[in-house]
Amino acid sequence: MASIESDLVERKRALSGGAAEKTCRSICAFANDLPGHGSPGVIFIGAEDEDGSCSGLDIDDALLKQIADLRDDGRILPRPSMSVEKRELDGCSVAVVIVHPALLPPVRYKGRAWVRVGPTVRLASPEDERRLAERRRALDVPFDLRPAGGANLSDVDLDHIERHYLPRAVAADVLEQNQRALEEQLGSLRLTRDRSPTWGSLLAFGRDPRQWLPGAYVQFARFDGGSHTDPVKSQQVLAGRLEDVLSSLSRLLEINISSLIDVVSGPREQRFPDYPIEALRQLAYNAVMHRNYEGTNAPSRVYWFSDRVEIESPGGLFGAMTPENLQEGATDYRNQLIAEIMANLGFAQRFGLGIPLARRALLENGNPEPEFAVDQNRVRITVRAAQ
């Protein structure tokens, strides 16, 4: 409150006269966040403009309601996200208004977009409005293709991308002739946007993906029985780069499969696994590829019981998917970049065939058809052991 006004801070001595109008413009400008800070703007009401000293304003419930009503009277659209509270700062009572950047700019007050330029509020120019509209359109793309707010390229393992991923994602002759800088190559592969890593890039190649998306891991547990309440024989949390997670998951699935050995029926011994590894891999990879990573801290889960394996993916079905066409192998991609990265890394050979391939492998191994349970929060596939 005592520092100079900036593009994130403004002071008002009161809300009387024309101050209410100017406060609405400031709310609009902070919501538009033209500089792209990604941080809230703060308005102190009850502090002098010049030096931030206390103006002696009586901060009562009526004033706080008057400020809150500025958001809801229909003149600021779309309605911004903001909070209003009374605070005591260095012995001075002030109303603190915190305005969060809008997800769908531009925000307009009385039909006009306002922006913050340094410590001043100004009418948005056509170029300002173009920038704000582009920012809105960026949010129309799938989550994994959006820029990860607050992250920068140091949060991604660029050396691993350059040495291990680029040779798999780009033809060798093209890569050899490519004279572009690494940052341009990352952009062409949709691993960056607006000079920031995309969420898909952080998920696949982040130094610590869970720092940004706490649910970006696979929880594996093997139970000694057929119930979630039975003792846990073993459990693991698989986290880190996507390639490492999927490789570890594949190994875990393989070592937990049991096989009966027939040495009587012929000259060569035959093995009969309780689950075909190809089916479990396809279904587990699908759970990682198609899950919802946005707005949830839940992991993908693989729970292994004495009579079945349950594979659970956070988030309901996406787009054109229904419980009926899910079983037939229909596909709609919530995470387009993750699907592309998994294909380049060899974990998805042909798109849309994961479930059909799994069903065929189960049939050939003598397992029952997989069972699907779908609601708005999850997709769970149950695979029962071969008899």
The backbone torsions φ and ψ at residue 363, rounded to the nearest 5 degrees and listed phi first, read -60, -45
100 and 191 part of one domain: no
Tell me, yes or no, whether 165 lies in a domain.
yes
The per-residue pLDDT for 263 is: 46
46 and 124 part of one domain: yes
For residue 89, what are the β-bridge partners?
Answer: 92
Q: Which of 177-181, 182-186, 356-360 has the lowest average pLDDT?
A: 177-181
Tokens of 102: 């809008």
The DSSP annotation for 30-98 comes to HHH-TT---S-EEEEETB-TTT--B------HHHHHHHHHHHHSSSEESPPPEEEEEEEETTEEEEEEE
CA distance 44 to 1: 7
How does the average pLDDT of the chain come out, rounded? 89
Tell me, yes or no, whether 213 lies in a domain.
no
Q: Which of 128-132, 142-146, 225-229 has the lowest average pLDDT?
A: 128-132
The yes-or-no verdict on residue 141 having pLDDT over 60 is: yes
290 and 316 part of one domain: yes
What per-residue string of b and e applies to 193-223 under the rule 16 or more CB within 10 Å gives b? beebbbbbbbbbbbeebbebbebbbbbbbbb
Tell me, yes or no, whether 368 lies in a domain.
yes
Q: Which of 89, 105, 140 is the last residue of a domain?
A: 140
CA distance 41 to 17: 23
Tell me, yes or no, whether 196 lies in a domain.
yes
* pLDDT (average), residues 255-270: 66
The yes-or-no verdict on residue 73 having pLDDT over 50 is: yes
CA distance 65 to 62: 5
Tell me, yes or no, whether 127 lies in a domain.
yes
Residues 79-102 pLDDT 10s: 899 999 999 998 999 999 999 998
66 and 125 part of one domain: yes
pLDDT band at 343 (very low <50, low <70, confident <90, very high): confident
The per-residue pLDDT for 139 is: 65
CA distance 289 to 345: 13
The CATH number of residue 362's host domain is 3.30.565.60
317 and 178 part of one domain: no
361 and 280 part of one domain: yes
Share of the chain above pLDDT 70, in %: 94
363 and 227 part of one domain: yes
Tell me, yes or no, whether 1 lies in a domain.
no
Tell me, yes or no, whether 123 lies in a domain.
yes
The per-residue pLDDT for 172 is: 80
Residues 13-65 pLDDT 10s: 999 888 999 999 999 999 999 988 888 999 999 999 888 899 999 999 999 99
Q: Total structural domains in the chain?
A: 3
The CATH number of residue 25's host domain is 3.30.950.30
232 and 380 part of one domain: yes
Q: How many CB atoms lie within 10 A of CB 148?
A: 23
CA distance 384 to 387: 9
The per-residue pLDDT for 349 is: 65
CA distance 44 to 147: 31
236 and 356 part of one domain: yes
190 and 92 part of one domain: no
- Residue 284 contacts residue 249 (beta carbons within 8 Å): yes
In single-letter form, the type of residue at position 367 comes to N
159 and 248 part of one domain: no
For residue 96, what are the β-bridge partners?
Answer: 44, 85
Q: For the chain, where are the alpha helices, taking DSSP H only?
A: 19-32, 61-72, 126-138, 158-160, 166-169, 172-177, 182-188, 199-205, 209-212, 242-256, 277-290, 323-327, 336-344, 354-365
Q: Which of 112, 140, 168 is the last residue of a domain?
A: 140
Residues in the chain: 387
Cis amide linkage into residue 167, ω under 30° from 0: no
The per-residue pLDDT for 350 is: 58
Residues 280-325 pLDDT 10s: 999 999 999 999 998 889 999 999 999 999 999 998 888 777 777 7
The yes-or-no verdict on residue 254 having pLDDT over 80 is: yes
- Long-range contacts, stretch 184-192, CB < 8 angstroms, 24+ apart: 186/153, 186/158, 186/161, 190/145, 190/337, 190/340, 191/156, 191/161, 191/337, 192/147, 192/153
Q: Which of 94, 109, 140 is the last residue of a domain?
A: 140
Of 304, 310, 261, whose CA–CA distance to 283 is shortest?
310
Tokens of 321: 């998917």
**For the ranges 180-189, 256-265, 294-303, the one whose mean pLDDT is highest:** 294-303
What torsion do the CA atoms of 219, 224, 228, 230 make, to the nearest 10 degrees?
-130
Tell me, yes or no, whether 250 lies in a domain.
yes
CA distance 81 to 341: 35
The per-residue pLDDT for 272 is: 80
The per-residue pLDDT for 200 is: 95
149 and 135 part of one domain: no
* Cβ neighbours of residue 303 closer than 8 Å, sequence gap 6 or more: 220, 221, 223, 228, 309, 310, 312
The reply to whether the predicted model has a pTM over 0.75 is no
- Supply the range of the domain harboring residue 358: 218-384
CA distances from 191 to 45, 143, 170, 205 (A): 43, 12, 13, 9
